[in-house]
Structure 1
Amino acid sequence: MTTTRWAILGPGDIGGWFARALPRSTHGTLHGIASSNPDRAAAFAAMHGAPVTGTYDEILARDDIDAVYISTVNTTHADLAVAALTAGKAVLCEKPVSTTAAELERVLLTAEACGLPFVEAFKHRFGPFARALDATVGARDVHGPLHLAASFGFAAGERTGRLFDPEIGGGAILDVGGYPVSLAVALAAAAGIDPADLTVTSVSGRVGETGVDEHAVATITAAEFTAQVECSIIETLPRSALVTGSNGSILLPDAFGGRRDSAASFIVQAGGRDRVVEVPTIDPFAAEADAVSLALLERRTEAPEMPWSYSRSIAGLLDDWRAGLDR
């Protein structure tokens, strides 16, 4: 397999994590950096050893770029993804792909028309942990009806910057709410439930003075499945999760892993016994990159770790969660 030559669109903090991870991928190498700020792009490229820099248009016009990683602010993801796909590049896009489900659909339709991979970067979906968890739920080791409780939150400190700016897609739901929602979507799918059948049935939360949701809770339901999800940018919340069924539970002490290492284990409690499932950890950013590289090699538009049906369901649920809060 030829090496996938990557460009990072948006040389920020998350882009730095991706740049540092690429040497640990099997198929990828960092080749270019794009930014609206030439000096910032050049400094980032020098730090991480990328040979070419330029504006977004300049980098997308190059023939020596095979794939791009989009790590700009939320409101710019969709336009950059469409531009990259139209320019013939595979795309790995930081979550959320967009601030609305309609914008996500525009991106997916473009990827379909271009016949190129597009993958949403929910990093916890890539690697052995997610595969083992999906298999456990699919095997009905703990059987339904299933209930998931999951959260993700942190205290941002001062209410300034991108997280608290509604004009660039700030707020807890778009920043971290996708983590528990994506877990709900994946577990429902593993249990044989169509992700499209999931709906938001109740919402509560706090909207701050800047107009963004700062803390939010939602209930998501389908037949034989419910999820209570919570997120915050003003309060530290557990990053654990608990799946309960009629005969036991699955405890995820670390449901989402970190930026350097994926989660390593979960506990199945059923039949009066506890069983610890341990898996190897991987670099989640490197795994995301390799998923795109393999899709390119095999001429697929989707990655099985994060199929478009999951992205569609997540985007719709986030839309409804946000719409349900009083602003």
Structure 2
Amino acid sequence: MTRTRWAVLGPGVISGDFATGLRSSHLGVLHAVGSSAPERAAAFAAEHGAAASGAYDEILAREDVDAVYIGTVHTTHSALAIRALEAGKAVLCEKPITPTAAETDLVLAAAARSGRPFVEAFKQRFGPFADLLRGLIADRELGEPLSLVAGFGYDQSPRTGRAFDPALAGGAILDVGCYPASLAIEVATVSGRGGLPAAFGDVSAEWVNGVDADTTAHLTIGDLAVELRTAVIREMPGAAVLHCADGDIVMPDAWGSRTESPSSLILRRGAEERVVTVPVVQPMGAEADAVSLALAEGRVEAPEMTWADSAAIARLCTGWLDAARRP
């Protein structure tokens, strides 16, 4: 199989992690780097061994680029993704695709018009752990899923930078709350509730410097009860528990890291617990390979992260933010 020639758009920290992860990819290689500041692109290319660099449009015009990874700030994803799709490139876009459901719909429509693969980079959805979880839910290993509690948060100090800048769509929900939101949509989809809108109940939020800094939401997706928690001003375990009719699926590390996918979960039936462990993969390399497979097989979506799920996650996060803004 021909290796996918990747370009990174936006030579920032997370793009550096992607470039490192791409070395573990089976199907892709870093070939080019694009930036609004070509000198930054050149420095990143030299650091990570890419053959070419330049401004965004220069990189998108290259015939020797098959796919692009978008690792810029949230507010720039939409324009870059649409430009890349219209240039005939496959796209792996860092989460969230955009800050709003409406804008995300525009990107997905552009992907449909282009006929090129488009995947949102929720890294925890790729690899053996994600496959195990989806299989347990689909097979009703512990019965029907009834409720989900999931959270992800960290304490950033000082309260400055992108995460605390409203103009850059900062805040906890779009930065890390989208991970538990993604899991809620995944559970709903795999358990047959896909496509149902989230109905919000109680939502509490603390705002700092104009962004949602600490928020908890109670909602339902059909008959699935969900509690989501996120923060950028306090640490919280990156854990999740899926309560089912016959027991619980406990995920002590639900999201993994940028270098390792989650490796184990606990199946709990009453007082009985069984730990299930799976191999660890480099998750950013795994999501890149999902795009490469889609390219090779003539598909526009990756089954691990469908467009329908991306749209549903965007609607959930937009609704969460709207509820958090209410007095």
- Tell me how far 1:45 sits from its aligned partner: 0.6
Distance 2:290 2:115 in 1: 16
Given that residues 249 and 269 in structure 1 are in contact (C-alpha distance below 8 angstroms), is that contact kept between their aligned partners in structure 2? Answer: yes
Question: Does residue 38 of the first structure (1) align with residue 45 of the second (2)?
Answer: no
Corresponding residue of 1:292: 291
Given that residues 219 and 229 in structure 1 are in contact (C-alpha distance below 8 angstroms), is that contact kept between their aligned partners in structure 2? Answer: yes
Q: Gapped runs of 5+ residues in structure 1? A: none
**1:7 counterpart letter in structure 2:** A
Given that residues 196 and 222 in structure 2 are in contact (C-alpha distance below 8 angstroms), is that contact kept between their aligned partners in structure 1? Answer: no
Distance 1:218 1:278 in 2: 30
Question: Does residue 163 of the first structure (1) align with residue 193 of the second (2)?
Answer: no
Distance 1:92 1:174 in 2: 17
**1:30 counterpart letter in structure 2:** L
**1:295 counterpart letter in structure 2:** A
Corresponding residue of 1:185: 185
Match runs of 1:1-327 below 5 Å: 1-144=1-144, 146-208=146-208, 210-270=209-269, 273-326=272-325
User: How does the TM-score come out when normalised to structure 1?
Assistant: 0.97
Distance 1:76 1:41 in 2: 17
Change (3 A) 1:197 1:143: farther
- Tell me how far 1:187 sits from its aligned partner: 1.2
- Encode CA deviations 1:284-318: one digit per residue, 9 max, x unaligned: 00001000000011111100010011101100010
User: How does the TM-score come out when normalised to structure 2?
Assistant: 0.97
Distance 1:84 1:64 in 2: 14
- Encode CA deviations 1:7-49: one digit per residue, 9 max, x unaligned: 0000011000111111210110101001111221111110000
- Tell me how far 1:245 sits from its aligned partner: 2.3
- Encode CA deviations 1:106-137: one digit per residue, 9 max, x unaligned: 11111111100000000000001011011111
**2:97 counterpart letter in structure 1:** V
**2:107 counterpart letter in structure 1:** V
- Tell me how far 1:197 sits from its aligned partner: 3.4
- Encode CA deviations 1:67-109: one digit per residue, 9 max, x unaligned: 0000000000011000000000000000000011111111111
- Encode CA deviations 1:147-205: one digit per residue, 9 max, x unaligned: 11110000010111111111111111110010100011111222221143333333111
**1:315 counterpart letter in structure 2:** A
Given that residues 68 and 84 in structure 2 are in contact (C-alpha distance below 8 angstroms), is that contact kept between their aligned partners in structure 1? Answer: yes
- SS of the aligned residue for 2:324 comes to coil
Change (3 A) 1:199 1:301: farther
Distance 1:6 1:145 in 2: 39
**1:280 counterpart letter in structure 2:** P
Given that residues 126 and 304 in structure 2 are in contact (C-alpha distance below 8 angstroms), is that contact kept between their aligned partners in structure 1? Answer: yes
- Encode CA deviations 1:212-265: one digit per residue, 9 max, x unaligned: 100111122123311100100000011011111232111111101111110001
Distance 1:220 1:28 in 2: 39
Q: Gapped runs of 5+ residues in structure 2? A: none
- Tell me how far 1:272 sits from its aligned partner: 5.1
